[in-house]
Amino acid sequence: MQKTKLGERFFESTRGRIVKLLRGTTATVNELMESLGLTDNAVRAHLLALERDGLVKQSGVQRGFRKPHFAYELTPDAEHLFPKAYDTLLNQFIAVLKDRLTPEVLENVLREVGRSLAAEKSVKQRGGVEVRAQNALKVLEALGGAARIEKKDGKVVIRSEGCPLAASVSEHPEVCRLAESLVAEIVGAPVQERCDRSGSPRCRFEISRVS
């Protein structure tokens, strides 16, 4: 919910409106001026900021009456700003599976998905457990998490205040088994999921120290 509200606020801003106008097309400064009712300098300032953020780039030149005009388009990174239906689809998919499968079979399926995802990332188990934990950290971050590694009571712990699967975990806590198996497959060691699901889901994976 928080992410959705932040997205809505962004698209209500001038820069957000520019991003929406450029989705699936290109536009010049003059074209954006007409759509937004802004001055040339104001549009250029917003485009410069969006370029710095890696959301917009120049995509060529269009002929003008007096001089050519640069055209702008979105970068691939900008697509991440737009709402996706993935969370809704995943929740519905898991809900159907829960109706048709026993809890044990569902858990096995989720764990297999986690292992398959780890294999897809092709992360090689090199170095000690802490090095491999760093690899798992990078995969979680690529999925949208913001994790860190801690050492506590002789254990290596991956902790995150934000869960990359939060929208699904809130409705289906079993999804944590997927992440647990993902981490275990990458680090090549037993992992225990100790996630906090009392409010906004927060990840915690305790990794046993093995050579």
pTM over 0.85: no
Buried b (16+ CB within 10 A) or exposed e, 155-180: ebbbbbeebbbbbbbbebebbbbbbb
96, with CB counted inside 10 A (0-12, 13-18, 19+), is exposed
Give, for all 211 residues of the chain, the pLDDT tens digit: 344 444 668 888 999 999 999 988 999 999 999 999 999 999 999 999 999 999 999 988 877 666 678 899 999 888 778 766 677 888 899 999 999 999 999 999 999 999 998 888 766 666 788 888 888 888 888 777 778 888 877 789 998 877 878 888 888 999 999 999 999 999 988 999 999 888 778 889 999 875 5
Amino acid at site 75: T
Check whether residue 120 and residue 51 sit in a common domain. Answer: no
Can you give the CATH number for the domain in which 200 is found?
A: 3.30.1380.20
Check whether residue 175 and residue 95 sit in a common domain. Answer: yes
Placement of tokens 């764990």 in the chain: 111
Check whether residue 71 and residue 115 sit in a common domain. Answer: no
Check whether residue 28 and residue 104 sit in a common domain. Answer: no
Give how many domains the chain has, as a whole number.
2
Can you give the CATH number for the domain in which 29 is found?
A: 1.10.10.10
C-beta separation of 6 from 50 below 8 A: no
Question: Containing domain of residue 178, as a range?
Answer: 86-207
Check whether residue 59 and residue 162 sit in a common domain. Answer: no
Encoded tokens for 7? 């997205």
